[in-house]
Amino acid sequence: MATLKKPVKYVYSFGGGKADGNESMKNLLGGKGANLAEMAGHPQLRLPVPPGFTVTTELCTYYYANKKTYPKVLTQQINEALVKMEKITGKKFGDVKNPMLVSVRSGARRSMPGMMETVLNVGLNEKTIQGVIAQSGGNERFAYDAYRRLIMMYADVVMEKGMGIEPKGGKGIRKQCDEKLEAVKRKKGYAIDTDLTVDDLKALVADYKKTIKKVLGVDFPDDPMEQLWGGMSAVFASWNGKRAIEYRRIEKIPDEWGTAVNIQAMVFGNMGDDSCTGVAFTRNPGSGENKFYGEYLVNAQGEDVVAGIRTPAPVNDYSKNAQSEHFTSLEKLMPALYKELYAIQKRLEKHYKDMQDIEFTIEKGKLYMLQCRVGKRNGVAAVRMATEMYKEKLIDIKTAVMRVGPNQLVELLLPMLDPEKEKTQPVIAKGLPAGPGGAKGRVVFTSEDAVEWASKGEKVILVREETSPEDVDGMHKAQAILTTKGGMTSHAALVARGWGKCCIVGCGDLEIHADAKTFHAKDGVVIKEGEWISLNGTRGLVYEGSMGLVDIDIEKNQSYKDLMKLVDQVKQIGVRANCETPEDAMTAFKFGAEGIGLFRTEHMFYGEGSEEPLFQLRKMIVSKTEKERRAALNDLYKYVKKDVKNTLNVMNGHPVTIRLLDPPLHEFVPHDKEKLHHLSKELGISMSVLRRRVLALHENNPMLGHRGVRLGISYPEITEMQIRAIFEATAELMKQGKKALPEIMVPVTCTVNELIHQKKIVDQVYLEVLEKTGLKKIPYLYGTMIEIPRAALKAAQMAEVADFFSFGTNDLTQMSFGFSRDDIGGFLPNYLDQKILLDDPFQTIDQEGIGELIKFGTERGRITKPNLKVGICGEHGGDPESVKFCHRIGMNYVSCSPFRVPIARLAAAQAAIESPRKIAKTK
Ligand code: PEP
Ligand code: MG
């Protein structure tokens, strides 16, 4: 027997205590539709939602797949849904006596605020308007205002945008209608829209219709059904509008999702002084405080609240601010309705177990709920809400941990530009957001000026094409760093992040004119030395002038501390920090680092107090004989030991991975005459001989040159000095009864033979130090960075000698992609714009490429040594997605800049919830 196939259901009704759909159907009904169904139909809610129906996202897909046509069944489904609405409201769509008007709104799976279209008051025409006047108790002004709004909105959204008409001279129909309204106001001397009389509005309606015919060549449709279908098609068309496409690209929303359309009976907040409309949050979205917070406008439509034309009044005393404190609250004005609204918002939050953003309307003394959705919140509020809801037992520990986006924590850790001020200022340039937070300062163009100005108490921002290690002092003294070149792991970016300093790199909108001491930005803006600029390092935005900063003290934030306690109960992978000084180590410890995953010893040669060790290093570099070199190394030794010892001491028995010297030597060679002179005198050689030696160190590709372990192979005495410093520092601490656990790490290796070679030095020095100190044993590990693809491929052999691997994903990415980490800013934007790459691989691990190498290396290494400790110390160690990846592939720890430690801890906890590991916690 043949069975009849049931037609696809494209229309889901809600209202009158019932709904076809529910909250779990977001993919089909969109966020708004699913929540309307939930509010209207869930047995625990059944809230006063005006009835309506949702046309599914599947229909949007159908529409585009079928040359913008609809399936036959749709008409019947829509007509049936309209009848249901009519039964509930007691009104009739298109009826002259008692007409039902509807709104037509978009609603994608994820909210895309303001990106798609809405048409209100659909169903109004020259005839039904009489019915609307009667419904409103003879309020003609209200009815004609609604009609005027419909005509303008419909002409704009459906007839112009929906049809893809490009307005002539860029002046759309909406603008033209607006101008007509303004002209009437001007002529009659009205200050605000509400001064318009019924006759004015009637005349405007006629004028709008004439203009539409003239400009668009067709009449405004007076048939309610035509309006409804036209509105629906316009919403679907707006899914592929320019704004929506761009927004999806930024938010990574797939194009094929489509939008739903919600058609709902209109209720009016502008029917008189017993009507109002408002937006509210179940908790304060700015601070997270558990207090009902919102705004409303008497005798107004929803769009008036959002558009900000009239200053809204507070719903209660708690919501008052400087502009609204003298307004009457809803609580005072309509106490019974406020009480009803208050109870509903409580129920909504309890039901959804999260802060809700709600829209409501009161029409002639009756409350309606128009929308609810999970409310957006800033980082501070997110942390407070998550921990307080956990304490209130509204949510469990896992939900609490998942509630805060790792990057939201940044807002708690760093000062920010005042967000209100920022909204009002034009952006003069945009670059890569290398160091988050906000900063303001006066522009300087050299490191020396930064140091000098800062010493006089000036706040400065160092603006450079790019930075080098020689700039470190100035960078340190500056409030922030702005470079025109470089990528996310360029020198400036790396250093700034390490300090938690605001930094923007690769800012191609700027042109520096060093001689004139100026830079040129967008739109002809020229900034001179000494003038103020402000940076938003979180978004990579540059502003002219000095903007206020909002400061945050993390130690005082109890919610943050509470959240971190929860995080530590859940996470499984260890989190360490990359540190360069004992002070960094202290900061890292404060932020909860469980060890140091990368201690770059070369830091002692930059910045404050570096004169002497740098001089000794230079001596060592240009030495010609081993004897000379050893003499210089001898002098260097004490500096290295002191730094290592202080850091081990701060970390008090937690592991400290000390990397042997890595950078190419030429980076440390002096170039200015005076310093060369000093060196030549000290070494007892002529300037010309010294110059020749310096020249000999020049390399075409220093990143692929004489650096890392290659130095230790050419000059074993360099390794020997460092190893001695590490062991003696450890021994001295042990003798003082302290705990110390060094991990010696060899950088830039590509073959196990390099590791064997260096290990011999380690073994020999170890015995010598034991003998000298009389200790029986000094605890330590010997391992390597994996930052050359070959090292990952040969991981099984590397693990024969190494106790641990630490993936140096900065160099691994550079060497595997063949992209210079310092120059990627020059072409990366083209790659991202054209979707050739979806993300900057120096910011987040390229999981399918570099990630494969990391997985392969880890697995192969552990075949040789099942307990091989594996970590990561590239900048990716602080990127939430990369942390999650490292968790999933079974790494023991991630290591990142001190300021990113809390972010990595949270990401680690979320990874443990999303894909729990069987093994216990690791460090
Ligand atoms: C790396 O290459 O990932 C790394 C951590 O080392 P550096 O950034 O110092 O080259
Ligand atoms: Mg490296």
pLDDT digits (tens, 9 = 90+) for 68-98: 999 999 999 999 999 999 999 999 999 999 9
pLDDT at 138: 92
pLDDT at 491: 79
Q: How confident is the model at residue 2 (pLDDT cuts 50, 70, 90)?
A: low
Does 491 participate in catalysis according to the annotation? yes
pLDDT at 920: 56
Specify the ligand 1 atom closest to the Cα of 808: 3
Q: How confident is the model at residue 489 (pLDDT cuts 50, 70, 90)?
A: low
pLDDT at 306: 57
Ligand 1 site-directed mutation target among 811, 812, 854, 894, most atoms within 8 Å of CB: 811
The finding on whether 230 has its CB within 6 A of some atom of ligand 1 is: no
Residue 811 Cα to ligand 1 midpoint, Å, equals 6
Three-state DSSP class for 672? coil
Task: Answer whether 621's CB lies under 8 Å from 697's CB.
Answer: yes
d(CA 906, CA 727): 35
The finding on whether 314 has its CB within 6 A of some atom of ligand 1 is: no
Is residue 786's pLDDT more than 80?
Answer: yes
Q: Which helix (H) or strand (E) holds 463?
A: strand 460-464
Is residue 862's pLDDT more than 90?
Answer: yes
Q: How confident is the model at residue 128 (pLDDT cuts 50, 70, 90)?
A: very high
pLDDT digits (tens, 9 = 90+) for 418-449: 988 898 899 999 988 888 789 999 999 999 99
Tell which residue, 387, 388, 383, has the closest CA to residue 404. 383
| One-character DSSP codes across 284-301 | -TTT--SS-EEEEEET--
pLDDT at 380: 81
Q: Burial letters for 873-893: b for 16+ Cβ neighbours within 10 Å, e otherwise?
A: bbbbbbbbbbbbbbbbebbbb
pLDDT digits (tens, 9 = 90+) for 207-227: 999 999 998 999 999 999 999
Residue 808 Cα to ligand 1 midpoint, Å, equals 5
Is residue 414's pLDDT more than 90?
Answer: no
Of the residues 60, 579, 873, 896, only one is catalytic, namely: 873
The finding on whether 809 has its CB within 6 A of some atom of ligand 1 is: yes
Residue 874 Cα to ligand 1 midpoint, Å, equals 5
Specify the ligand 1 atom closest to the Cα of 874: 3
The finding on whether 432 has its CB within 6 A of some atom of ligand 1 is: no
Is residue 656's pLDDT more than 60?
Answer: yes
Ligand 1 site-directed mutation target among 662, 822, 850, 897, most atoms within 8 Å of CB: 662
Which range is least confidently modeled, 125-134, 347-356, 502-511, 643-652? Answer: 502-511
The finding on whether 811 has its CB within 6 A of some atom of ligand 1 is: yes
Of the residues 476, 491, 654, 666, only one is catalytic, namely: 491
Residue 747 Cα to ligand 2 midpoint, Å, equals 7
Is residue 921's pLDDT more than 60?
Answer: no
Ligand 1 site-directed mutation target among 749, 787, 816, most atoms within 8 Å of CB: 787
Arithmetic mean of pLDDT over the chain: 92
pLDDT digits (tens, 9 = 90+) for 581-634: 888 899 899 899 999 999 998 888 877 778 888 888 888 888 888 888 899 999
Place of tokens 């921990």: 387
Q: How confident is the model at residue 310 (pLDDT cuts 50, 70, 90)?
A: low
Does 654 participate in catalysis according to the annotation? no
d(CA 712, CA 707): 9
Tell which residue, 792, 721, 790, has the closest CA to residue 761. 721
pLDDT at 308: 53
pLDDT at 3: 62
What type of residue sits at position 631?
A: A
pLDDT at 445: 96
Q: How confident is the model at residue 825 (pLDDT cuts 50, 70, 90)?
A: confident
Residue closest by Cα to atom 10 of ligand 1: 811
3-state secondary structure 441-459: EEEECCHHHHHHHHHCCCC
- Which residues 6+ apart lie within 8 Å of 248 measured at CB? 112, 254, 255
pLDDT digits (tens, 9 = 90+) for 664-683: 777 788 778 888 888 888 87
Residue 601 Cα to ligand 2 midpoint, Å, equals 13
Residue closest by Cα to atom 3 of ligand 1: 808
Task: Answer whether 472's CB lies under 8 Å from 495's CB.
Answer: yes
pLDDT digits (tens, 9 = 90+) for 883-907: 999 999 999 999 999 989 999 999 9
Specify the ligand 1 atom closest to the Cα of 807: 3
Specify the ligand 1 atom closest to the Cα of 578: 5
pLDDT at 316: 96
Is residue 140's pLDDT more than 90?
Answer: yes
pLDDT at 166: 77
Tell which residue, 645, 530, 624, has the closest CA to residue 582. 645
Task: Answer whether 592's CB lies under 8 Å from 575's CB.
Answer: yes
Tell which residue, 911, 857, 854, has the closest CA to residue 879. 911
